[in-house]
């Protein structure tokens, strides 16, 4: 449970808010690269952290993320012509480059001062199939985080995004609350074939030993949690009873300020993660990535991702999920009775339904938390402390100094009882924080 003040601090991210200032200290994805597929293609409207912006790819392939308001008389540059390394306003022809410089004023004499016509432009980078932007103070730009999928050949990854109708924080809390798998994503079908068909839709179903893992998750709804701090966030390990007195660990990673890695993968399997980017305080984009460090994804795996299986959602051409708040996620009460716990198709859609249902901004003043919520509690505490440290004492977030600390994995493991989370991390990942050396850089490690 939080006070109203803390709930507001956690969830409001406009430019004038402490969380807004905090989030702006980090790079975050703002588009899929494929949304700007070629030089001089149509620009895209983008709203991030409550700011309406315009993204475009210029003739040389560089990406601009700019204020869309033309400084002449306020026309929107969205209608502009993307031509010869700049976006030209179609009202009277002023032209701007990716850095926001006004590079042509056809309606004024040569020598007119262009500097005062400069528009706001944020630095961008392309990596891992996303366009990343940094919206913080320009004098102090950190290295972008190096998530593992960003270090791999494109053939090893699939990236997507989906719209969600609620505040980003409750989506992230859903991702690190790994206790909910015993219910929200559970199968109730008695029929083996039916259960398998449903599991094949889910991340966990793509993998071997699915019946044992599902059984362990179903039969132990009260995982014991242990949490470690990392250089960039928190490792959240939940242990459930497995067979022969062993424990089944599902280990998620929270990485500052808005990334979470999924706890399902066993060695050799595909990894998944998500980054939650506020559009405004009542909606967000969820950027979702699947990667395999050891091999390219197979055509079948890619097809499953494209069709919105595993952790990806089934979306329309605007990246809005087909099963969404407006249609009650196409909940099927017959299916809910006989096959799946929710009657809603898709892990991503099950998550969305329940996160949206917490309200556009979840009211954390009325909660009653249990021991299984400890990951969420620790996340909130870490965020509130870091946001206050920046707002009150000017302390820059420590995670910014560890871009390589983001090259980490999450996943599952079966271990003997009596082991600490740190022991289990060493067994599963060979590193206490789950950090891996980027591909091709092993000799520099
Ligand atoms: S409003 Fe853009 S050039 Fe006049
Ligand atoms: Fe979930």
Separation of CA 371 from chain center:
25
DSSP 8-state class, residue 293: S
Helix (H) or strand (E) holding 219: helix 210-219
pTM, two decimal places: 0.96
Residues 6+ apart with CB under 8 A from 10: 2, 19, 169, 364, 380, 383, 384, 387
Q: In this structure, are 102 and 180 located in the same domain?
A: no
76, 81, 91, 108, best to mutate for ligand 1 pocket (most atoms within 8 Å of CB): 91
pLDDT tens for each residue of the chain, 445 residues long: 899 999 999 999 999 999 999 999 999 999 999 999 999 999 999 999 999 999 999 999 999 999 999 999 999 999 999 999 999 999 999 999 999 999 999 999 999 999 999 999 999 999 999 999 999 999 989 999 999 999 999 999 999 999 999 999 999 999 999 999 999 999 887 777 777 777 766 655 444 445 789 889 999 999 999 999 999 999 999 999 999 999 999 999 999 999 999 999 999 999 999 999 999 999 999 999 999 999 999 999 999 999 998 899 999 999 999 999 999 999 999 999 999 999 999 999 999 999 999 999 999 999 999 999 999 999 999 999 999 999 999 999 999 999 999 999 999 999 999 999 999 999 999 999 999 987 767 665 5
Helix (H) or strand (E) holding 196: helix 192-199
Q: Is residue 15 part of a domain?
A: no
Which two structure tokens, joined as six digits, stand for 436? Answer: 């891996």
Which parts of 263-363 are beta strand (E)? 271-280, 283-291
Contact yes or no for 147/136 (Cβ under 8 A): no
Which two structure tokens, joined as six digits, stand for 58? Answer: 């210029």
Cα of 403 to ligand 2 centre, how many Å?
Answer: 27
Cα of 1 to ligand 2 centre, how many Å?
Answer: 21
Q: Is residue 410 part of a domain?
A: yes
Contact yes or no for 365/171 (Cβ under 8 A): no
Q: In this structure, are 182 and 212 located in the same domain?
A: yes
The CATH number of the domain where 33 resides is what?
A: 2.102.10.10
Range of 33's domain? 27-134
Q: In this structure, are 167 and 248 located in the same domain?
A: yes
Query: For residue 210, what pLDDT is reported?
Result: 58
Cα of 74 to ligand 1 centre, how many Å?
Answer: 7
Gap between the Cα atoms of 10 and 4, Å rounded: 10
Q: Is residue 10 part of a domain?
A: no
Q: In this structure, are 203 and 69 located in the same domain?
A: no
Sheet holding 27-32, edge to edge: 27-32, 130-134, 124-127
70, 78, 102, best to mutate for ligand 1 pocket (most atoms within 8 Å of CB): 70
Q: Which residues form ligand 1's pocket by a CB distance below 6 Å?
A: 70, 72-73, 75, 89, 91-94
Q: In this structure, are 199 and 274 located in the same domain?
A: yes
Task: Examine the fold and report which residue of 134, 158, 180 is the final residue of a domain before the chain moves on.
Answer: 134
Q: In this structure, are 154 and 59 located in the same domain?
A: no
Q: In this structure, are 153 and 130 located in the same domain?
A: no
Gap between the Cα atoms of 9 and 364, Å rounded: 12
Gap between the Cα atoms of 212 and 243, Å rounded: 9
Task: Examine the fold and report which residue of 134, 161, 191 is the final residue of a domain before the chain moves on.
Answer: 134
Gap between the Cα atoms of 247 and 47, Å rounded: 44
Gap between the Cα atoms of 250 and 50, Å rounded: 35
Q: In this structure, are 191 and 246 located in the same domain?
A: yes
**Residue 439 burial class via C-beta count within 10 angstroms: exposed 0-12, middle 13-18, buried 19 and up:** middle
Cα of 289 to ligand 1 centre, how many Å?
Answer: 40
In this structure, which residue's CA is closest to atom 4 in ligand 1?
Answer: 92
Q: In this structure, are 102 and 190 located in the same domain?
A: no
In this structure, which residue's CA is closest to atom 1 in ligand 1?
Answer: 73
Q: Among the bound ligands, name the one nearest to the CA of residue 72.
A: 1
Query: For residue 445, what pLDDT is reported?
Result: 53
Task: Specify the residue for token string 């400890």.
Answer: 374
Gap between the Cα atoms of 273 and 261, Å rounded: 4
Q: Is residue 336 part of a domain?
A: yes
**105 phi and psi angles, rounded to 5 deg:** -130, 85
Q: In this structure, are 210 and 126 located in the same domain?
A: no
Which three-class secondary structure state does DSSP give residue 122?
strand
Q: Is residue 300 part of a domain?
A: yes
Task: Examine the fold and report which residue of 79, 105, 134 is the final residue of a domain before the chain moves on.
Answer: 134
66, 68, 73, best to mutate for ligand 1 pocket (most atoms within 8 Å of CB): 73
Q: In this structure, are 364 and 416 located in the same domain?
A: yes
Q: Is residue 432 part of a domain?
A: yes
Which two structure tokens, joined as six digits, stand for 217? Answer: 């998750």
Ordered alpha helix ranges (H), 282-417: 299-306, 333-338, 347-357, 374-393
Gap between the Cα atoms of 164 and 148, Å rounded: 25
Q: In this structure, are 175 and 104 located in the same domain?
A: no
Cα of 168 to ligand 2 centre, how many Å?
Answer: 14
| Count of domains forming the chain | 2
Cα of 3 to ligand 2 centre, how many Å?
Answer: 26
Which residues place a Cβ less than 5 A from the ion ligand 2?
Answer: 351
Q: Is residue 344 part of a domain?
A: yes
72, 81, 88, best to mutate for ligand 1 pocket (most atoms within 8 Å of CB): 72
């Amino acid at each position: 449970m939080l006070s109203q003040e803390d709930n507001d601090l956690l969830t409001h991210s406009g430019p004038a808010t402490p969380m807004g200032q905090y989030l702006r200290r980090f790079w975050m994805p703002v588009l899929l690269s494929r949304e700007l597929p070629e030089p001089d293609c149509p620009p895209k409207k983008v709203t991030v952290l409550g700011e309406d912006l315009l993204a475009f790819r210029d003739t040389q392939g560089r990406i601009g993320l700019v204020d869309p308001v033309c400084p002449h008389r306020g026309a929107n540059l969205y209608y502009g012509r993307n031509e010869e390394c700049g976006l030209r306003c179609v009202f009277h022809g002023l032209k701007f480059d990716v850095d926001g410089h006004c590079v042509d004023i056809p309606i004024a004499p040569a020598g007119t001062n262009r500097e005062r016509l400069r528009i706001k432009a944020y630095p961008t980078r392309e990596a891992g199939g996303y366009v990343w932007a940094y919206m913080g103070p320009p004098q102090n730009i950190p290295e972008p985080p190096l998530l593992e999928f960003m270090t791999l050949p494109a053939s090893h990854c699939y990236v997507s995004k989906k719209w969600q109708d609620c505040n980003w924080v409750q989506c992230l809390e859903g991702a690190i609350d790994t206790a909910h798998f015993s219910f929200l994503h559970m199968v109730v079908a008695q029929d083996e074939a039916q259960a398998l068909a449903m599991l094949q839709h889910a991340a966990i179903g793509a993998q071997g030993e699915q019946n044992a893992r599902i059984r362990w998750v179903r039969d132990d709804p009260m995982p014991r949690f242990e949490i470690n701090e990392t250089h960039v966030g928190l490792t959240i390990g939940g242990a459930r009873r497995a067979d022969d007195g062993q424990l089944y660990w599902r280990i998620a990673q929270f990485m500052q300020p808005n990334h979470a890695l999924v706890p399902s993968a066993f060695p050799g399997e595909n990894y998944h993660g998500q980054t939650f980017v506020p559009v405004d305080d009542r909606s967000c984009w969820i950027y979702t990535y699947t990667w395999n460090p050891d091999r390219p994804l197979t055509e079948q795996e890619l097809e499953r991702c494209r069709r919105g299986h595993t952790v990806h959602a089934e979306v329309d051409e605007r990246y809005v999920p087909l099963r969404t708040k407006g249609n009650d996620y196409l909940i099927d009460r017959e299916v809910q009775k006989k096959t799946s716990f929710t009657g809603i198709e898709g892990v991503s859609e099950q998550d969305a339904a329940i996160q949206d249902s917490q309200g556009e901004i979840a009211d954390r003043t009325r909660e009653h938390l249990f021991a299984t919520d400890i990951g969420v509690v620790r996340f909130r505490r870490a965020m509130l402390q870091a946001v206050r440290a920046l707002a009150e004492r000017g302390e820059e977030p420590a995670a910014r100094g560890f871009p390589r600390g983001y090259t980490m994995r999450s996943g599952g493991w079966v271990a003997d009882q009596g082991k600490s989370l740190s022991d289990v991390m060493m067994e599963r990942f060979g590193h206490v924080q789950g950090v891996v050396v980027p591909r091709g850089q092993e000799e520099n490690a």
